[in-house]
Amino acid sequence: MKQIYEDLSDDTDFDIIDLADVPDRDTVKRRKKKSQRDVNKTNKSEEVKKKEHSSTEDPSEDSRKERSKKARKRTSGNSGNGSSKASGKKRSTPSASIITTPVKKTVQTGAKITGKLLQTGARGVTLLMIAIIAFNIFKNFWSCYPVYGSLATAVNAKNYTLGAFLGVAAFLLIMEIIFFLWALTGPCAYGDRGTKRVDTGRGLFSFLFIGITVVAAGMFWNLIPSSPSPLTGLAGGLQLYGSLKGILLPLCGIGLVSCIIRKIFS
């Protein structure tokens, strides 16, 4: 035993350790975490280097792969858009062509037919009003002319008073005949199918003329002097014409409305 102890005392040296230098458990854990982080960083750096190395070695293969992916996406997108557009067209065309167009055509044809019917009816009313006005003028002058003399002896007796009286009636009747023919016809329109008469509301001026003149005759006939004798017949004719305003003005109003309707639907 003495020999062994001597050998140990000679060969081995024991170091004296201070307890303050011994690390705690927390420090040990921290050191382990740091060592693990360092290891992870080194691993990540090695992986990044490998990827960079692989990308530098074969960039053409990556670019080819990316191009092929883009081409697939484009073809799939175009096919999807085309199919959706085609399906949308197929769905929208029957609703637009089958439902809307017949309704529009029927409405347009109905509007044209009603417009033509109104136009022809208004034209008939215009002509009828002109004829009634002319008839009333002729009837009243024919019933009152014997007051100024006889037609048989008017030329031989040189009855200028009767001539002036009948001259007022003749002027009004000639104007009404012209207005009637003017309203009966219309201007010509030239198209692909040839010439065609168009109703533009003619006859409006005739009713304005009769309405204004009948009111003026009733107001100013007494301003005409009684001599010479033809002026007496003129005053008598205007007095008779002015007395017809209660009959002629309503007829002129109806005629004006009919001409306006014809003008709208022309």
Mean pLDDT of 241-257: 95
- Is it the case that residue 191 has pLDDT exceeding 60? no
Domain range list for the chain: 119-265
Q: Write out the DSSP string of the chain.
A: -HHHHHHHHHH--PPP--GGGS--HHHHHHHHHHHHHHHHHHHHHHHHHHHHHHHHH-HHHHHHHHHHHHHHHHHHHHHHHHHHHHHHHHHHHHIIIIIIHHHHHHHHHHHHHHHHHHHHHHHHHHHHHHHHHHHHHHHHHHHHGGGG--STTTTTTT-HHHHHHHHHHHHHHHHHHHHHHHHH---EEEETTEEEE----TTHHHHHHHHHHHHHHHHHGGGS-S-SHHHHHHHHHHHHHHTTHHHHHHHHHHHHHHHHHHHHT-
Banded pLDDT at 12 (limits 50, 70, 90): very low
pTM: 0.58
pLDDT in tens, 207-228: 999 999 999 999 999 999 888 8
For the ranges 87-96, 112-121, 134-143, 232-241, the lowest mean pLDDT is seen at 87-96
Mean pLDDT of 79-86: 49
pLDDT of residue 48: 63
